[in-house]
Amino acid sequence: MCGIVGLYTKNPAFEQRLGDYLSSMLIEMTERGPDSAGIAVYRNPVPKGATKLTLHHADPNYPWPQLAHDLQEELGDKVGIEVRGSHAVMVAHEEYPVISAWLHHHHPEVAVVSVGDKIEIYKEMGLPADVVNRFHLRDLKGTHALGHTRMATESAVTTEHSHPFSTGLDLCLVHNGSLSNHNRLREWLKKRDIEIRTDNDTEVAAGYLTWQLREGASLEEALEAALKDLDGFYTFAVGTKDGFAVLRDPIACKHAVLAETDDWVAMATEYRSIATLPGADKAVIWEPVPAQIYSWSRA
Amino acid sequence: MIEIDLDQTTIRDLNQRLHRLPADTNERAWHIFNPKGRHAIAVGLDLPITIAIDGHVGFYCGGMNKQAEILINGHAGPGVAENLMSGTVRVRGNASQSAGASARGGLLVVEGDTSSRCGISMKGADIVVGGSVGHMSAFMAQRGNLVVCGDAGRSLGDSIYEARLFVRGRVDSLGADCIQKEMRAEHLEALAKLLDRAGIRANPRDFKRYGSARKLYNFNVDHAAAY
Amino acid sequence: MTVDPSSLRPSHSFPPQVIQEIHRAADQGVYEIRGFGAKRKLPTFDDLVLLGASISRYPLEGYRERCDTNVVLGTRHAAKPIELKIPITVAGMSFGALGAHAKEAIGRACTAMGTSSTTGDGGMTPEERLSSKTLIYQVLPSRYGLNPDDLRRADAIEVVVGQGAKPGGGGMLLGQKITERVAGMRDLPVGIDQRSASRHPDWTGPDDLTIKIQELREITDWEKPIYVKVGATRVTYDVALAVKAGADVIVVDGMQGGTAATQDVFIEHAGIPTLPAVRLAVEALKELDMHRKVHLIVSGGIKSGADVAKALAMGADAVAIGVATLIALGCNRPVYVEDYHKIGTEPGYCHHCHTGRCPVGVTTQDPELEKRLPPEQGARMLKNYLTTMTLELQTLARACGKSHVLNLEPEDLAALTVEAAAMAQVPLAGTNWIPGRNGY
């Protein structure tokens, strides 16, 4: 049970203030989600052949530069690292499976929060305003971002249980609602080598989408399949490299509002988040209908 | 005209002030600015005063209203005019879900569309929608009238009791125990009056009437499939 | 030729009652609907005992040495919390399920005892408000009779998410009880079978409940405590979420909780017993550092001062009684025995509230039957019962050395069975063993 926000910019001027605007949207959703908060930002695309990872460790003094240095030695190529709070964004000129194997072997204590060309995910326990400050989210520039504030329903309040959940390269999921068949799905997905670390229902949904995409489905096909295979109440927002998608379940009790101006497209659980954006009072506002996929992308 | 800027005044102060007005108050016309999607604006009122709100409101605007005339110059979030008792709530834009939920009396007008569950559990109010309504509208609607000038989403009037539904456009599907019914002279007359009160121009003859088949009123095993 | 009875072998899986029920289903094609609470055997407070005074602990003398029973509920946000003289309240039961005499009797008795009564799934009657000094007003999924004037007349507001008898189900009242008065209050046609919603019409989920609670506070100018009531299922999550949604008081109703009418399968097979529900609720509150700040009322099969003492020892702030209240008013009393026979039962076994033919005039709308329960007489009987429960509670609390009943604590308890020890997280008598702790 939560608040979801999403912002997609339509022009470069707006990209400069992406983090600032999204942070304000996120903080409006504090009452819906006082337990933890997180955002996924799409920014600074890495060159072809390189990979960007967001890593997390709870220790505020974790020696990130040392880790980057060690990987650099291993790869024989420069590895960049940018530390934000308890997370670090690392860029290496290598494919993900190689980096993943190295991390597993040498630094199993570090959690991989997101992987891709553009995506970065920051998430932690605490009030949205605190999470925004800890990660300096207002400074971030980028093309689009999703955010989530969490009121935990059935699983624990930890960083690992916070949204957004990364489901694959440049892919992430935020969810408002409560699934009812996620426990069986979790077992089923684990048998198919989808890694699911927590008892959180959203992580199962994220894993389900990853599995669908791995099997060759497009994002639209994966979401259509989700309508059949996932049971319960949900509003999903999925982040992709080029944009985002929104889907509500057929019963559609969990709210969602969409809004669009010449500068942006925004999505939120409640209008008051959208009201914080410049030009909101002139925006076209509508509600997504149930069981219908809405998507925006730059392609 | 009393002007209230909700960026300066809290919802709580506004509502308390409105609740404390004496019956003979001369503060009868209120203009509210910067609602910005805030919740519970002008709830629980009980005087024949007018409130105009410029902008979009959040959840439950005008909830449990008695006597007052509330005008929303924008869109309304979920549960607008929930449990309306009397008076009028008018939304110039669209309304989110559960508009007029369990509304018992008075008039709710939405000039635009509503999303799902418009008039859910309604108990005697009149609801007039200039546009379309979403799925599960008039779910368990007990009493009152729902008028839809546009289309209705699936499962209209599911499990309906005695409320009357008038829809001009397409109905995606009817819910359990809801059937189309004959439009007779008294219905055309009642509908004309409703449209007139709502200030919406439409020809009653273009509408179809829907209501309860009353087969679920006392359980009969042969109707078990309807459950 | 007679059959030798010792050659008759009943089946454990298909005993006579099950066989009879299957025959009934084959005849009628519909689930059985009835009143009362779960009748099956369950772990209850009876499986716990209190550790009275000994050499290490000293008791209080009766009468002279005070054992106070007052409790204040709902101090978290409300300007006017609920002050009760005893920690025993009467649970929500509708006018419709109960007749007007019963509701008035309850109101009078509660006023005399300085405790609260609660409206139910039919709205507030004037008799109830007049007779009950402290009245809790329920807001249910059906919203029958809900109006802002009653909200303002109430002393507290109880948002009902569910009840122990049917967690996840809505209200039910059969046609024979939908009289003109009941129909008028509920805006339904007379004589139909009432179908009710199981979800609230304008909110779903704790994030939206937060906003709904705020609306209710705004309508009542933040004066009144807001209770949230759940049937006992996922108690840990529900209590945490109710706290996060802003509740001042949480009511947890175990599966033994009664109803005037619902499907038998619901009553017997959904929800967890009150015993583990209390423990889970208290743990959830302590986890959030909200124990004794957000207050806890528990209900579901509470029947004596001993149950109250044990519930308080486990950490509840108060209890609510439903079925026990009706029994005090005469339910299942061996009088008008012919009328019990007419509805197919005997005193002591009756669960036929749904028929509206209550032989003692409690759960009926029939004025002739209601005459059997004059309100003053009912009030006296209920007051006697509440007084008895309070005296029993004080007796046990004094024996444990407590000058206030809220000073009872889990360490004052021992369990008689392994199940009760596990559910209540209290040691099995004679051992230090609490199943599940320290790897055992």
Which whole number is the average pLDDT over C109-128? 96
Give the mean pLDDT of chain A: 93
- Does residue C308 contact residue C77 with C-beta atoms inside 8 Å? no
- Does residue C166 contact residue C231 with C-beta atoms inside 8 Å? yes
Task: Give B36's contacts in chain A (Cβ within 8 Å).
Answer: 272, 275-276
Q: Coil, strand, or helix at residue A8? A: strand
A253 is catalytic: no
Per-residue DSSP letters for C173-206?
A: E-GGG--HHHHHHHT--TTPPEE--SS-SS--SH
- Does residue A112 contact residue A55 with C-beta atoms inside 8 Å? yes
How does residue A187 score in pLDDT terms, banded at 50, 70 and 90? very high
**ω into residue A108 within 30 of 0, thus cis?**
no
User: DSSP assignment, residue C136?
Assistant: E
Rounded distance between C-alpha atoms, residue C158 and residue C137, angstroms: 6
Tokens, residue C208? 């939206």
Give burial (CB, 10 Å; 0-12/13-18/19+) of C212: buried
Task: Give B93's contacts in chain A (Cβ within 8 Å).
Answer: 285
Scan for tokens 């599966």, then name that residue: C255
- Does residue C237 contact residue C244 with C-beta atoms inside 8 Å? no
Distance of CA C114 to the CA centre of its chain: 18
Tokens, residue C312? 């308080």
pLDDT at A198 over 90: no
In B43-72, the residues whose Cβ lies within 8 Å of chain A are 55-56, 58-59
pLDDT at C63: 74
Measure CB to CB from residue B121 to each of C30, C189, C197 and give the nearest one: C197
B77 touching chain A per CB within 8 A: yes
Give the mean pLDDT of chain C: 95
pLDDT at B222 over 70: no
Residue from B55, B54, B95 nearest B78 by CA: B95
pLDDT at B226: 57
pLDDT at B61 over 60: yes
User: DSSP assignment, residue C222?
Assistant: T
Residue from C201, C192, C287 nearest C236 by CA: C287
How does residue C210 score in pLDDT terms, banded at 50, 70 and 90? very high
- Does residue A3 contact residue A32 with C-beta atoms inside 8 Å? yes
Out of A57-61, C34-38, C202-206, C277-281, the most confident range is C277-281
Which residues contact residue A246 at a Cβ distance below 8 angstroms, ignoring those fewer than 6 apart?
A6, A235, A236, A237, A238, A256, A258, A267, A288, A293, A294, A295
How does residue B206 score in pLDDT terms, banded at 50, 70 and 90? very high
| b/e sequence C263-275, b meaning 16+ C-beta within 10 Å | bbebbeebbbbbb
Q: Coil, strand, or helix at residue B90? A: strand
pLDDT at C175: 87
Scan for tokens 């209540």, then name that residue: C424
Tokens, residue A94? 């290598």
- Does residue A53 contact residue A114 with C-beta atoms inside 8 Å? yes
Rounded distance between C-alpha atoms, residue A160 and residue A156, angstroms: 9
In A268-287, the residues whose Cβ lies within 8 Å of chain B are 270-276, 281, 285-287
Q: Coil, strand, or helix at residue C283? A: helix
How does residue A118 score in pLDDT terms, banded at 50, 70 and 90? very high
* Cβ pair B56:A290 closer than 8 A: no
pLDDT at B176 over 80: yes
- Does residue C403 contact residue C59 with C-beta atoms inside 8 Å? no
* Active-site entry in A1, A2, A68, A103: A2
Which residues contact residue C113 at a Cβ distance below 8 angstroms, ignoring those fewer than 6 apart?
C85, C86, C88, C383, C386, C387, C390
Q: Which residues pair with B123 in a beta bridge?
A: B143
Q: Which residues pair with C227 in a beta bridge?
A: C158, C249
Task: Give A272's contacts in chain B (Cβ within 8 Å).
Answer: 36-39, 58
Closest chain C CA to residue B60? C215
Rounded distance between C-alpha atoms, residue C410 and residue C48, angstroms: 11
How many CA atoms does the CB half-sphere of C224 hold within 13 Å? 26
Rounded distance between C-alpha atoms, residue A68 and residue C112, angstroms: 75
φ, ψ dihedrals at C266, nearest 5°: -65, -50
Q: C437: how many CB neighbours lie within 10 A of its CB? A: 12
Tokens, residue B52? 């105009």
Question: For B100-153, how does the pLDDT look when each residue is reduced to its tens digit (9 = 90+)?
Answer: 999 999 999 999 999 999 999 999 999 999 999 999 999 999 999 999 999 999
pLDDT at A159: 80
Q: Please state, for a pLDDT cut of 70, what percent of chain C lies above it.
A: 100
Rounded distance between C-alpha atoms, residue B217 and residue C186, angstroms: 15
The ipTM, to two decimals, is 0.96
Mutate to test the interface with B, among A29, A31, A271, A273 (most CBs of B within 10 A): A271
pLDDT at B223: 63
pTM of the predicted protein model: 0.93
Which whole number is the average pLDDT over A267-292? 94
Question: For B2-23, how does the pLDDT look when each residue is reduced to its tens digit (9 = 90+)?
Answer: 999 999 999 999 999 999 999 9
Measure CB to CB from residue C189 to each of B19, B60, B162 and give the nearest one: B162
Rounded distance between C-alpha atoms, residue C52 and residue C190, angstroms: 55
Rounded distance between C-alpha atoms, residue B69 and residue B50, angstroms: 5
Question: For C123-168, how does the pLDDT look when each residue is reduced to its tens digit (9 = 90+)?
Answer: 999 999 999 999 999 999 999 999 999 999 999 999 999 999 999 8
Rounded distance between C-alpha atoms, residue C50 and residue B3, angstroms: 63
* Cβ pair B97:A286 closer than 8 A: no
Rounded distance between C-alpha atoms, residue C401 and residue C412, angstroms: 10
Which residues contact residue B154 at a Cβ distance below 8 angstroms, ignoring those fewer than 6 apart?
B135, B136, B172, B173
φ, ψ dihedrals at C365, nearest 5°: -110, 0
For helices C206-219 and C235-245, angle between their N-to-C axes, nearest 10 degrees: 40
Closest chain C CA to residue A4? C207
Closest chain A CA to residue B93? A285
How does residue A297 score in pLDDT terms, banded at 50, 70 and 90? confident
Which residues contact residue B162 at a Cβ distance below 8 angstroms, ignoring those fewer than 6 apart?
B142, B143, B211, B212, C189
Per-residue DSSP letters for A61-91?
A: T--HHHHHHHHHHHHTS-EEEEEETTEEEEE
User: DSSP assignment, residue A270?
Assistant: S
Q: Which of A249-258, C55-64, C263-272 has the lowest mean pLDDT?
A: C55-64
User: DSSP assignment, residue B178?
Assistant: E
Q: Coil, strand, or helix at residue C417? A: coil
For helices C206-219 and B11-19, angle between their N-to-C axes, nearest 10 degrees: 40
- Does residue B54 contact residue B31 with C-beta atoms inside 8 Å? yes
Higher-pLDDT residue of C394, C173 = C394
* Chain A, chain B: beta-carbon pairs less than 8 Å apart: 46
User: DSSP assignment, residue C294?
Assistant: B
- Does residue C258 contact residue C362 with C-beta atoms inside 8 Å? no
* Cβ pair B44:C148 closer than 8 A: yes
Tokens, residue B89? 């709530």
Rounded distance between C-alpha atoms, residue C391 and residue B170, angstroms: 67
Q: Taking CA C3 as the corner, what is the angle to CA C2 and CA C6, rounded to the nearest 5 degrees?
A: 135
Tokens, residue A114? 């997101």
* Length of chain B measured in residues: 227
Q: Coil, strand, or helix at residue A4? A: strand
Q: Coil, strand, or helix at residue C117? A: strand
Element spanning A260, H or E: strand A257-260
Q: Which residues of A touch C (CB under 8 A)?
A: 1-3, 31-35, 151-154, 176-178, 233, 253-255, 269
